[in-house]
Amino acid sequence: LPGTVWIASDIHLGPDVPATARAFHRFLQQACVQADALLLCGDIFDAWIGDDFAGKDAPQWLRESLAALRDVSARIPLWLGRGNRDFLLGETLARQVGARLLPDSVVIETAAGRVLLSHGDEYCTQDRAYQRFRRLVRRRSVQRLFLSLSLSMRRRIADFARRRSMAGNQYKPAAIMDVEPVAVARAFERSGVCLMVHGHTHRPAVHTLEISGRECRRIVLPDWEFDGASPRRGGWVVLDAQGARLKWAEALSGPSARS
């Protein structure tokens, strides 16, 4: 991927986050002008219940976001990765917005060097309950069964899973919800890269670490939240000939509706 690459994740678009959607759409417009490619690596949607959700009866908020994504792909290459909440994103949706799907984890060649990109949940290996859930819902038979249900039934199951997840997360120790250092080190070693970018943990940071004598960096993308209580947050990673850096999206929020 030549030129300037922008990467974001964990926007969690859904019916109840209009301010987040607005900030994200502004970000997309900016990407068209300032970036040469845009990569969204997972949890773009708060829950994806199948590509037919974007069919002719799609809700208004979704139509708007799909149109905004199409505007991007009309101008620069757009890549979509799957997260733990939208792992059901498929080729149909990608085609519909003019994007291509990213594999779960992938090494990309950029002006800032080779970069290992993923959603990040695969490194949360201490979270046994989550890894069990992940294995279950990634089985083709389970997905086929789920997709055979009506949209309203799928919506109910997804809402249930989201509620269960949020309730459970309140009691999980912070260390369990973060990546496991051993899993990260293994990924650096296997891929041979010095830079990794992922989201999922909602703990934006630039970590420096040493892997077998090499200095490596792990950049964690922030999640996006412009609707709930402040502080608003959101941001993305820029990769270009100057290197890699994290950018904050406060500037995209516009005048506050609250104050």
Q: Which does 83 bind (CB under 5 to 8 A by kind): Mn ion, ligand LP5, none?
A: Mn ion
- The least distance separating ligand LP5 from the CB of residue 36, rounded to whole angstroms, comes to 31
Q: Does 223 bind Mn ion (CB under 5 A)?
A: no
The dihedral formed by the CA atoms of 25, 30, 33 and 36, expressed in degrees to the nearest 10 = -80
Q: What is the rounded distance in angstroms from the CA atom of residue 86 to the CA atom of residue 157? A: 14
Q: Does 83 bind Mn ion (CB under 5 A)?
A: yes
Number of residues that bind ligand LP5 (CB under 6 A): 26
Other residues' Cβ atoms within 10 Å of the Cβ of residue 76: 18
Q: Does 105 bind Mn ion (CB under 5 A)?
A: no
Choice from 49, 80, 193, 239 touching ligand LP5 (CB under 6 A): 49
Choice from 34, 148, 169, 242 touching ligand LP5 (CB under 6 A): 169
Contacts of 8 (CB under 8 A, 6+ apart): 27, 38, 39, 40, 41, 199, 221, 224, 234, 235, 236, 237
The strand pairing partners of 173, in sequence order, are none
Q: What is the rounded distance in angstroms from the CA atom of residue 63 to the CA atom of residue 191? A: 38
Specify the residue, 29 or 125, whose C-beta has the smaller distance to ligand LP5.
Answer: 125
Q: Does 252 bind ligand LP5 (CB under 6 A)?
A: no
For residues 114 to 143, the per-residue mask of contacts with ligand LP5, x marking binding by CB under 6 A and - elsewhere, is -------x--x--x-xx--x---x----xx
Contacts of 162 (CB under 8 A, 6+ apart): 46, 47, 85
The strand pairing partners of 80, in sequence order, are 40, 101
Q: Which residues bind ligand LP5 (CB under 6 A)?
A: 47, 49, 84-85, 121, 124, 127, 129-130, 133, 137, 142-143, 146, 157-158, 160-162, 164-166, 168-169, 172, 177
